[in-house]
């Protein structure tokens, strides 16, 4: 248990460093200095920089899940849960859960042109996120809350684009209005995709 706690503390620090300086800024030596421990002690947990990077991405995925997915997990499946998920996602951006802003937004840009296992791990997280949005749209369709002609993948693309832009404006300019605009755009798009029953369901979302 002590070893697990130590590993968790190491990864928490690694995630914060990587969110601000990139995964390439991570090293066993850098972490040892930051944490005040020996390099040999860190090597007992991570045998290489690559393994450290991969474990850091996985740790960031767990944090993302806890802050974005878990708060809405028990809500009504479909459109209600999707709307709440989008709000949870925007709140995650605004709360700056990671020291350098959204870990994954930074990692996407850092590794989009670098083939290899780290890029694969980051891409897997992005696919998981997009599939979750598509899943909610399909669930809403099955309940008659989304119009039949709405393409789940297209709606997911648009929702992701809106939130990602809001985060970029927040990180670059500290623009609070970006989140208000994102909420307006998401609400408008969901209402546009919804049936009458779906709009009634959305009206129940605080």
pLDDT tens per residue, range 84-101: 999 999 999 999 888 888
Among 30, 31, 107, smallest CA distance to 64 is for: 107
d(CA 145, CA 122): 32
pLDDT, position 170: 94
DSSP one-letter string for 32-62: HHHHT--HHHHHTT-SSHHHHHHHHHHHHHH
pLDDT tens per residue, range 18-59: 998 899 988 888 888 888 887 777 777 787 889 999 999 999
- Is-contact 169 101, C-beta < 8 A? no
pLDDT, position 6: 78
Among 159, 161, 177, smallest CA distance to 169 is for: 177
Among 138, 135, 188, smallest CA distance to 162 is for: 188
How far from the centroid of its chain's Cα atoms is residue 107's Cα? 11
Among 108, 153, 105, smallest CA distance to 133 is for: 153
Domains in the chain: ranges and CATH: 58-202 (1.10.357.10)
Low-confidence ranges of the chain (pLDDT < 70): 1-3, 206
Burial environment of residue 44 by CB neighbours within 10 A (0 to 12, 13 to 18, 19 or more): exposed
pLDDT, position 1: 45
DSSP state of 147: -
Q: What is the dihedral of CA 17, 14, 171, 64, to 10 degrees?
A: -170
Q: Is 112 helix (H, G, I), strand (E, B) or coil?
A: coil
pLDDT, position 47: 79
């Amino acid at each position: 248990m002590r070893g697990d706690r130590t590993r968790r503390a190491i990864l928490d620090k690694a995630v914060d460093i990587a969110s601000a300086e990139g995964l390439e800024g991570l090293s066993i030596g850098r972490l040892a200095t930051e944490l005040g421990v020996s390099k040999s002690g860190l090597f007992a947990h991570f045998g290489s920089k690559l393994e450290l990077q991969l474990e850091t991405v996985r740790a960031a995925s767990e944090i993302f899940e806890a802050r974005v997915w878990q708060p809405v997990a028990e809500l009504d499946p479909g459109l209600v849960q999707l709307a709440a998920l989008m709000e949870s996602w925007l709140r995650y951006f605004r709360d700056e859960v990671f020291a350098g802003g959204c870990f994954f937004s930074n990692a996407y840009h850092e590794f989009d042109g670098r083939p290899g296992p780290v890029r694969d791990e980051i891409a897997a997280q992005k696919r998981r996120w997009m599939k979750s949005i598509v899943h909610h749209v399909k669930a809403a369709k099955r309940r008659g809350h989304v119009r039949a002609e709405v393409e789940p993948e297209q709606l997911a693309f648009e929702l992701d684009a809106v939130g990602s832009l809001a985060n970029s404006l927040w990180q670059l300019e500290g623009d609070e209005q970006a989140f208000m605009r994102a909420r307006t755009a998401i609400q408008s798009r969901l209402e546009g995709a919804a049936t009458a029953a779906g709009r009634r369901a959305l009206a129940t979302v605080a």
